[in-house]
Amino acid sequence: MQQPLAFRMRPTHIDQVLGQEHLVGPGKIIRRMVEAKRLSSMILYGPPGTGKTSIAAAIAGTTRYAFRQLNAATDAKKDLEVVVAEAKMSGTVILLLDEIHRLNKVKQDYLLPHLENGRIILIGATTENPYIAINPAIRSRAQIFEVKPLTPDQIKLGLQRAIEDPEQGLGNYSLAIDDTTLTHFSTVTNGDIRSALNALELAVLSTPENEEGQIVITADIAAECLQHKRLTHDKDGDAHYDVISALQKSIRGSDVDAALYYLAILLEAGELIIACRRLLVIAYEDIGFGNPQATQRTVAAVEAAEKLGLPEAKIPLAFAVTDLALSPKSNTSYRAINQAMADIQAGNTGPVPDHLKDSHYSGAKQLGRGVGYQNPHNFPYHYVQQQYLPDKLKDRHYFQADPTGKYETAIANFYENLKKPKT
């Protein structure tokens, strides 16, 4: 059975690697390792289809070391033993270990001594953030390199190579594909060369020749074989948290267009609950007193979205995102509670003043509970100056207004007026 085009077109030399100039370009770290033939174990971290396996294959092809590939999730310890036995007999082996974040302790403990003595050069591949998902014992023995999504031009170069290659590629087919269609293949897969190559191969193999013996790949055929754009989003992966972070920071920065874009990514990925939860947080953390009515409208929009479900939920959520992004911003209450909690966590606390303590039980007065308390409702303006914080913190001011809207300006003025002497 013939391997997929993406598999056949993997580079055999480091000069053939697409993109990743920050790693394999002239004078860069992986190229230096290869040229000096002084390889160390490494973890390649990045989205699917960006060239992690290709880099490993290119390193092996350039250095002419033996190259073996295993999967940390599905291959057993005995498969590692076979690779180690080969390394003991023939010398250094480069081991590409896919999904290295799923390596269990038994396989890890077996592998570690062979990494240390240099028999095995481990190249771990993962889509997960290695600083979070990979065991420190492995992480400390490997350099971590981030692999970036390919640009459309880099993917287009890879597609052109495949079209022209008569041995591993599609060079033996009589193809007619214009530049616009080729550009479509290279732009809709979010930097994933594997998806682009496999879609191109499907288009070629499933399209009959015309009367002139040519296989004509049109834009419609490309769209059918690609279907829709694959999202760079995985609810269990690092990209998931990056999108949530970008949504909040875009709203906080009043960039409504970016905020709507990141909301769209979450909704396309089916993350309705995550989007609703994050918008509630944003409303109270970042807008707050800047526009309290917007926080109320956000709660209503989230309730509507949860009742509607996708796809209609996008309508109230888009309303909320636009409302929040274009509202005055205030994190006054967020800062205030953080400062209060910081005091408590630092042990900077004190007992509740006696006059504020509960006095609704027999014998409370004998203990001094509630004695001297002044009820503000019994005074003009429903206010009277008295101590509420513990003695140790009586001069603390957690609420520090920074008005950006009419409402916070009003409550800030009210707060300042309270502190003025009443006549």
pLDDT at 326: 94
Give residue for tokens 């597609």. Answer: 159
Confidence tier at 309 by pLDDT (50, 70, 90): confident
Rounded Cα distance between 54 and 11, Å, is 6
Neighbouring C-alpha atoms within 13 Å toward the C-beta of 178: 6
Pick the range with the lowest mean pLDDT from 105-119, 256-270, 341-355. 105-119
pLDDT at 223: 83
Give residue for tokens 């042990």. Answer: 347
* Residue 215: closest CA among 223, 227, 203: 203
Overall average pLDDT of the 75-99 stretch: 87
Overall average pLDDT of the 81-97 stretch: 87
- CB-based contact 181:218 (threshold 8 Å): yes
Asked whether residue 161 carries a pLDDT value surpassing 90, the answer given is yes
Asked whether residue 22 carries a pLDDT value surpassing 60, the answer given is yes
| Helix runs in 188-255, H state only | 193-206, 219-226, 238-252
pLDDT at 230: 47
pLDDT at 389: 92
Pick the range with the lowest mean pLDDT from 39-43, 187-191, 406-410. 187-191
Q: Are strands 175-177 and 215-217 parallel, antiparallel or unpaired?
A: parallel
Asked whether residue 274 carries a pLDDT value surpassing 70, the answer given is yes
- The total of other beta-carbon atoms located within 10 Å of residue 405's CB is 19
Rounded Cα distance between 41 and 48, Å, is 20
245 vs 92, higher pLDDT: 245
Pick the range with the lowest mean pLDDT from 137-141, 322-326, 416-420. 416-420
Asked whether residue 2 carries a pLDDT value surpassing 80, the answer given is no
- Which CATH superfamily includes the segment(s) 5-146? P-loop containing nucleotide triphosphate hydrolases (3.40.50.300)
Q: ω into residue 311 within 30 of 0, thus cis? A: yes
Asked whether residue 103 carries a pLDDT value surpassing 90, the answer given is no
Confidence tier at 237 by pLDDT (50, 70, 90): low
Rounded Cα distance between 278 and 239, Å, is 16
CATH no. of 238-325: 1.20.272.10
Asked whether residue 60 carries a pLDDT value surpassing 50, the answer given is yes
Confidence tier at 422 by pLDDT (50, 70, 90): low
Residue 390: Cβ-neighbour burial (10 angstroms; 0-12, 13-18, 19+):
middle
DSSP 165: -
322 vs 268, higher pLDDT: 322
Domain borders along the chain are 5-146, 152-226, 238-325
- CB-based contact 411:289 (threshold 8 Å): yes
**Segments of 161-286 assigned E as strands:** 175-177, 215-217
Rounded Cα distance between 118 and 92, Å, is 7
- CB-based contact 325:283 (threshold 8 Å): no
pLDDT at 1: 57
DSSP 46: -
Overall average pLDDT of the 353-367 stretch: 82
- CB-based contact 184:223 (threshold 8 Å): yes
Confidence tier at 299 by pLDDT (50, 70, 90): very high
Range 44-71 burial, b when 16+ CB lie within 10 A, else e: bbbbbbbbbbbbbbbbbbbbebbbbbbe
**Equal CATH topology for 152-226 and 238-325:** no
Give how far the C-alpha of residue 37 lies from the chain's centroid of Cα atoms, to the nearest Å.
34
* Residue 57: closest CA among 86, 108, 22, 18: 18
Q: Which fold, 152-226?
A: Helicase, Ruva Protein; domain 3 (1.10.8)
Rounded Cα distance between 18 and 7, Å, is 14
Asked whether residue 332 carries a pLDDT value surpassing 50, the answer given is yes
Give how far the C-alpha of residue 141 lies from the chain's centroid of Cα atoms, to the nearest Å.
25
What percentage of the chain exceeds 70 in pLDDT?
96
Overall average pLDDT of the 305-327 stretch: 93
